[in-house]
Structure 1
Amino acid sequence: MRASNANVSYQDLKKVCDFYFERRPSRGGDHETYKTPWRGDPRVNIQNRYGKAKPYQVNQVLAAVDKLLLEGK
């Protein structure tokens, strides 16, 4: 995932998000939204695009996971 953010399956990224973050109810559409533990309204959104995750969303998820692990949560 870190080696190539352009070739990550949507299902793989969804599994990472399900493990680290709290899934928020979907309002339809093709986005999944996850709540992160930080103050305010931070969240991670991912979107299925032909079975793949969007590269910028992979980067956002990895950055959030790194921050979470650094904080020891």
Structure 2
Amino acid sequence: MSKAERLIEDMRKNPQGIRFSDAAYVCDVLFGEPRQRSSSHRVYRTPWSGDPRVNIQNDHGMAKAYQVRQIVKAVDRMAEVE
């Protein structure tokens, strides 16, 4: 199991306990470089139309739980498409 796969499983189990750096790593692996990068936010493009963004925020070193759930939802959607 790769590091990204292990982190995704951790995201499914406990979205409140995910570090921003881990969420950013998963998004970098899945979606490539962020469209926008700042110290507190990263915005990633997704390969489908509609709402083609995943946004994550650094909240004192942790990713926000609702954004972690959005990452998991995007991972599931990517699995459906492939």
- Using the size of structure 2 for normalisation, the TM-score is 0.79
Q: Give the match for residue 32 of structure 1.
A: 42
- Using the size of structure 1 for normalisation, the TM-score is 0.87
The alignment of Structure 1 onto Structure 2 pairs a total of residues equal to 71
Say whether 1:16 aligns with 2:31.
no
> In the alignment, residue 73 of structure 2 is paired with which amino acid?
A
Residue segments in structure 2 that go unaligned for 5+ positions in a row:
1-10
Please list every run of at least 4 consecutive aligned residues from structure 1 whose deviation after the TM superposition is greater than 2 angstroms.
Answer: none
Offset at residue 50 of structure 1 (A): 0.7
More helix by share: 2
RMSD: 1.4
